[in-house]
Amino acid sequence: MNTRTLRTTGRALAVTILAGLALVLGAVPALAHAQFESSDPADGASLATAPTRVSVSFSDTMQPGFNTLTVIGPDGQAYQDGEPAVSGGTVSIGVKPLGPAGRYDIGYRVVSGDGHPIEGSVSFTLTTPGAAAAAPPAAATAPNEGSGGAPIWPWIVGAVVLVGAGVVTALRLGRG
Ligand SMILES: [Cu+2]
């Protein structure tokens, strides 16, 4: 073999290897679509303290700009805040102060690096009402119970005034 033949053989070998690599690399993303891997909070987690941010992570880099993340509370209210942020395979979003204790669903609709949309949901349970929770019913009714029959007085006063007015009117009509 002279140098020319060696060079040609080397080039042919390189082309073959590159072609093989391209096939393998091209086939891998097509076979392995990004898949859901984990979330924070984890699916099914019970939390006493409300998270200020939630995230879902996937097995591939995610595309920014096409993602939707929602956090829906047991009261049906949406608690996500702002726009989703993408960092590698993780999509996250801020969370407003949570409301009542109970189940919060994190719904996601995201687009992976290869352009495929991925949809799903995970949930966590808040065991202690969050900062935005309405006052519990017991606390709301306490002031009424404490003031006893007070709310009846306006009715009695109103009745006395009405009866008094009726008597005066009747007397005037009788005189006229
Ligand atoms: Cu895919």
pLDDT tens, per residue, the chain with 176 residues: 565 666 666 666 665 555 555 555 554 445 578 999 999 999 999 999 999 999 999 999 999 988 999 999 999 999 999 999 999 999 999 999 999 999 999 999 999 999 999 999 999 999 999 999 976 655 545 455 444 555 666 766 777 878 778 777 777 777 65
pTM: 0.60
Q: Ligand 1 mean position to 58 CA, how many Å? A: 12
Q: Ligand 1 mean position to 16 CA, how many Å? A: 27
DSSP code string of 101-143: SEEEEEEEEEEBTTS-EEEEEEEEEESS--TTPPPPHHHHHHH
The whole-angstrom separation of Cα 144 and Cα 150 is 9
Q: Ligand 1 mean position to 64 CA, how many Å? A: 15
Which CATH class, in words, describes the domain spanning 34-126? mainly beta
Q: Ligand 1 mean position to 115 CA, how many Å? A: 6
Q: Which tokens sit at 168?
A: 């005066």
Q: Ligand 1 mean position to 33 CA, how many Å? A: 4
Q: In what order do the strands lie in the sheet with 45-47?
A: 45-47, 117-126, 102-111, 68-72
Q: Ligand 1 mean position to 5 CA, how many Å? A: 43
Q: Ligand 1 mean position to 114 CA, how many Å? A: 5
Each domain of the chain, given as residue ranges in start order, spans 1-31, 34-126
DSSP code string of 41-85: SPTTEEESS--SEEEEEESSPBPTTS-EEEEE-TTS-B-EEEEEE
